Chains A and B, each alone.
Chain A
Amino acid sequence: MLLLAVVVFNFILLSLVPGDIADTLAGESGGASQEVMDDIRRTYGLDRPFHIQLATYVGKVVQGDLGTSYYFNMPVTELILGRVAPTLLLVVTALVLAILIGTLFGVIASRRPNGLFSHFVTVLALVGFAAPVFWTAFLLIVLFVAMLEIMPLSGLVDPTTPRGTFSWYLDVLHHLFLPVLSLSSIYLASYSRLARASMMDVLGSDYIRTARAKGLGETSVTYKHALRNAVIPVITIAGLQFSHIFSGAVVVETVFTWPGLGTLAFESILRGDTPTIMGILFFSAMIVIVVNLLTDLTYRLVDPRIRSARNA
């Protein structure tokens, strides 16, 4: 239902664009006669009334057909599927890293609420929020590429490396390092602050006092008993923010010319490649919805109360 709304909205929005594919192609080839323009419009079905076009598009989307890219002249679905792996690699790695390290920072900070590390987490959260992600990326490039010269500047992999070999995977990881670091920096900062706050909440609760009273060590109390509950808000926010992380990926991908959906989206917007833009908007909405479902499933994994409540 939500996805259908997204499809219809995209279609209506992008139909508002002045000029169409015929104008673009004619412009690129230096002018075309009216007949040729009409012919192009007929090929793409643009001569038909609006509601028919909309219905045709929705019908095709249901069958997994997102139309044909004006620029690449190939199916948008194919185009997107070819670009989705690098983006997912980037986004998921950054997200997992941000959640793990953020939670760890939060836990360490919560053990001494007024300690040095706790203040560090507060400052980190402020800095992480205020730093624009492309700026962070450029600073990292200046440090790691220009000064230390240990990281590659851009791209997914060195084109000379033979594909599929072990060194190829290693090279991808090498190229992945800076984009992931830039993207996760924002979320790492806010998750560590969130994890600290929720740990401090949990550590004050009765069942933690019980655990301590029965003589459990502090490590066991923190990591086995408290952490499980403290991580729930982090997962909730991470799930809710997934569409934002996807947005961040667009910027990071353009900075590092990472060959993913973000770069494709940006270039398609500049080229006015309407079917591709609609396809990417639809596809990213779909991913966000799937991630929200996964977030729900993760709750069940982390919180046994939710598991039993659903099974009952």
Chain B
Amino acid sequence: MTDRPATAPESGPETVRIERPVVEFLRMYVRNWAAVAGFIVFAAIVFAALFAPVILAVDPFEMVRMHFTPPGHDSYVLGTDNLGRDMLTAIVYGARATLVVGGSAAGLTIVIGLTIGSLAGYYRGWVDEVLMRITEFFQVLPPLLLAMVLVALFEPTLPTVAIAIGVVTWTGVARLARAEFMRIRELEFVKAARSIGSRDRRIIWRVILPNALPPLIVNAALTCGIAILFEAALSFLGLSDPNVMSWGKIIGDNRDYLLDAPWTVTIPGVAIFLTVLAVSLIGDGLNDAFNPRLRER
């Protein structure tokens, strides 16, 4: 909002003041307090993940005290787990695995989904037919089960987990991208682009894609949330890298002691919950900012 004085003089006295789209977008976003809160929480989690070694220069796997020290005891704010490892350190370091795997899996989901969806929606005909059969194929297989099989088949490393999640979750993005491309390819400006002889590749990337972006960006936030939940579920089940601390892994390691030391299970869950909540609040905020008219309903 501080940009307003800078942009205002540029517009002539009689014209309606038109803000740059980015500024207007930001203004709409900032008005939604829940979305701002989501952004702040998410930024804090990213900050903790980035600077984990600076904040807490301890190995998250190191056993520092008696196992199951309750939270708040002896400067161990969140207590210790079944092996006497500090929970706070585990949570801060766990954020790294969760964000890296969740983020790259979501990226992969979007790349696969967008490629398949845009090709199917743009070319239609037999291309659409083939690609949609493939999409259907992935839709009838339970996604988590397939991801579990994939991780178990190959080595349980972070890249494998990210790829497995990407491979099983892209169908939603593909369907959305396909619908958008089908709608936009019939619009006038696409016909105009074709009439001046633009090639397919240019029409897909430079003409249609920018116009299809808003719903896809909103969906990307959702995709991120889903990817984080998948990562948590896989590492909870022990189907992730055993040498990397992650939130799901802490819960999985301590699940047998739930009734004796409930904090070892509930606290990492809060971390997962807050992260996904923050991401979906950001998604809601983006949705409202892209479609200002929806808000007034």
On chain B, the residues within 8 Å of A289 by CB distance are 140
Q: Are A132 and B232 in contact (CB under 8 A)?
A: yes
On chain A, the residues within 8 Å of B137 by CB distance are 2, 5-6, 9
On chain A, the residues within 8 Å of B273 by CB distance are 127, 130-132, 135
A126 and B144 in contact, given A2-B137, A142-B262 (Cβ under 8 angstroms):
no
Q: How far is the CA of A255 from the CA of B148 in the complex (A)?
A: 16
Chain A residues 264 to 289 lying within 8 A of chain B, measured CB to CB, are 265-266, 269-270, 272, 277, 280-281, 284-285, 288-289
Residues of chain A at interface, number, CB under 8 A: 46
A127 and B144 in contact, given A132-B272, A251-B237, A270-B152 (Cβ under 8 angstroms):
no
User: A222 near B: Cβ within 8 Å?
Assistant: no
The stretch from A11-19, A38-46, A175-183 touching chain B is: A11-19
**Interface size class, chain B:** 35 or more
Give 15 new A-B contacts, CB below 8 A, not counting A5-B137, A6-B141, A146-B258.
Answer: A6-B140, A9-B137, A16-B153, A131-B273, A139-B266, A139-B269, A141-B258, A243-B140, A243-B142, A247-B144, A251-B233, A251-B237, A281-B149, A285-B140, A288-B140
Question: Shortest Cβ distance from B154 into chain A, in angstroms?
Answer: 8
A134 and B258 in contact, given A5-B137, A277-B149 (Cβ under 8 angstroms):
no
Q: Are A250 and B148 in contact (CB under 8 A)?
A: yes
Interface residues of B (CB under 8 A from A): 133, 136-137, 139-146, 148-150, 152-153, 225, 229, 232-233, 236-239, 248, 251, 255, 258-259, 262, 265-266, 269, 272-274, 276-277, 280-281, 284
Question: Shortest Cβ distance from A211 into chain B, in angstroms?
Answer: 22
The 10 closest A-B pairs by CB, nearest first: A135-B269, A247-B144, A130-B276, A130-B277, A246-B142, A288-B140, A285-B140, A247-B142, A269-B152, A243-B142
Q: Are A129 and B225 in contact (CB under 8 A)?
A: yes
Q: Are A246 and B145 in contact (CB under 8 A)?
A: yes
User: A244 near B: Cβ within 8 Å?
Assistant: yes
Q: How far is the CA of A2 from the CA of B136 in the complex (A)?
A: 8
On chain B, the residues within 8 Å of A110 by CB distance are none
B148 in complex: contacting residue of A269, A284, A285, CB < 8 Å? A269
Nearest-neighbor residue (CB-CB) of A204 within chain B: B297
Which of A5, A127, A243, A244 lies at the interface centre, i.e. has the most chain B CB atoms within 10 A of its CB? Answer: A243
Question: Shortest Cβ distance from A76 into chain B, in angstroms?
Answer: 15
User: A57 near B: Cβ within 8 Å?
Assistant: no
Q: Are A244 and B143 in contact (CB under 8 A)?
A: yes
Q: How far is the CA of A269 from the CA of B144 in the complex (A)?
A: 12
Q: Are A266 and B148 in contact (CB under 8 A)?
A: yes
Q: List 13 A-B contacts (CB under 8 A).
A: A126-B280, A129-B276, A131-B273, A132-B233, A134-B233, A138-B266, A138-B269, A142-B259, A240-B139, A250-B144, A254-B237, A285-B141, A288-B142
On chain A, the residues within 8 Å of B229 by CB distance are 132
On chain A, the residues within 8 Å of B233 by CB distance are 132-134, 251
